[in-house]
Amino acid sequence: MDRAELADFLRTRRESIQPADVGISVGQRRRAPGLRREEVAWLAGMSTDYYARLEQQRAVQPSEQILIAVARALRLTAEEHAHLFRLAGHHAAPPRDRSQQIEPALLRVLDRLDDTPAMIVTDIAFTLAQNALATALFGDETSYTGLARSSYYRWFTDDSARALSPIREHAIHSRLNVAGLRAALSAGGEDPTATTMVDELLRRSPEFASLWAEHIVAERLGDEKTVIHPELGEIEFDCQPLYLENRAQALLVMTPRAGSNASEKLRLLQLSTLV
């Protein structure tokens, strides 16, 4: 149980909820942001003193039933719920097996994709395999070693990683990468690689440290992505991950965004791989 992290997580989530979101009327004298401790305790069906001790790092390990009640009161997402359980020393599900062995089912699908960029990635953003178009677009991401194998890590430590994205999207990518890493850490148990990555990023990147302190946690699902190619310029994609059942690996497929000129640029990129 990590009492300090648990207390900080509960506080940040409590302060992020507006009273109106949970049906509580706002009085004239309310000054602090979000909910009060007594309001969370009431919503969770527990004493104010017990909830206060959780935020003050004075409580013994809460039971799973207590955590479920707190998660419901704070309107936590599934990823935040898993994170809460991990901080309290429980696991809502068995830890993920982060084997570096590529799952054959994903590899079979990747082998059939030759007209759109695709890659197999782990939940901590290690690239395990790429097709030719993905390599032409991003370079060989399987060649990195150590923590640099993770695109999460490179985003905060390597300027060349950011050069692939327009500056206007940097802030949102930073938040998504932090949220994805925290979700993976919560779901994966005490994984030494993920833990070391967090420690190194806290030491090396003030931006990461600031975002990490916000306790944002969410698996990065399908989203839009703009990639800057040195010759073709900006190419707009829709990204869709196909997960394994345990979500430890995913096949990430990038398709041209409708209404953009991405399809034409992708055809040019494909021709370059045939030369």
How far apart (Å, rounded) are the C-alpha atoms in residues 144 and 186?
Answer: 25
In a domain, 190, yes or no: yes
At 79, which CATH number?
1.10.260.40
Q: What are phi and psi of 132, to 5 degrees?
A: -60, -40
Q: Which domain holds residue 31?
A: 3-87
Q: Are residues 133 and 241 in the same domain?
A: yes
**pLDDT at residue 24, as a whole number:** 73
Q: Report how far residue 72's alpha carbon sits from residue 19's, in angstroms, rounded to the nearest whole number.
A: 15
Residue that finishes a domain, picked among 61, 87, 113: 87
Q: Name the 3-class secondary structure at 261.
A: coil
Note whether residue 156 is domain-resident: yes
Measured N-to-C along each axis, helices 3-16 and 37-44 cross at an angle, to the nearest 10 degrees, of: 90
| Integer Cα distance of 62 and 232 in angstroms | 55
| pLDDT band at 234; cut points 50, 70, 90 | very high
Give backbone dihedrals phi and psi of 253, rounded to 5 degrees, phi first: -110, 130
Q: Considering its fold, how many domains does the chain have in total?
A: 2
Q: Element (H or E) spanning 187, and its range?
A: helix 170-188
**Position 92 pLDDT exceeds 70:** no
SS3 annotation, 11-43:
HHHHHHCCHHHHCCCCCCCCCCCCCCHHHHHHH
Looking at 25, 54, 87, the residue that finishes a domain is 87
pLDDT over 60 at 49, yes or no: yes
Q: pLDDT band at residue 87, thresholds of 50, 70 and 90?
A: confident
Asked if residue 97 is part of any domain, the answer here is no
- CA dist 48 and 87 (Å) reads 21
Angle at 37 between CA 31 and CA 42, to 5 degrees: 120
Q: Based on the domain organization, do 262 and 153 belong to the same domain?
A: yes
249 and 177 both lie in a single domain: yes
- Residue 266 and residue 163 share a domain: yes
Same domain, 253 and 169: yes
Q: Please write the tens of the pLDDT for every residue from 193-213.
A: 888 999 999 999 999 999 999
96 occurs within a structural domain = no
Residues 77 and 200 in one domain: no
Look at residue 55 and tell me whether its pLDDT is greater than 90: no
| CATH number assigned to the domain comprising residue 186 | 3.30.450.180
d(CA 188, CA 195): 10
pTM for this model (two decimals):
0.72
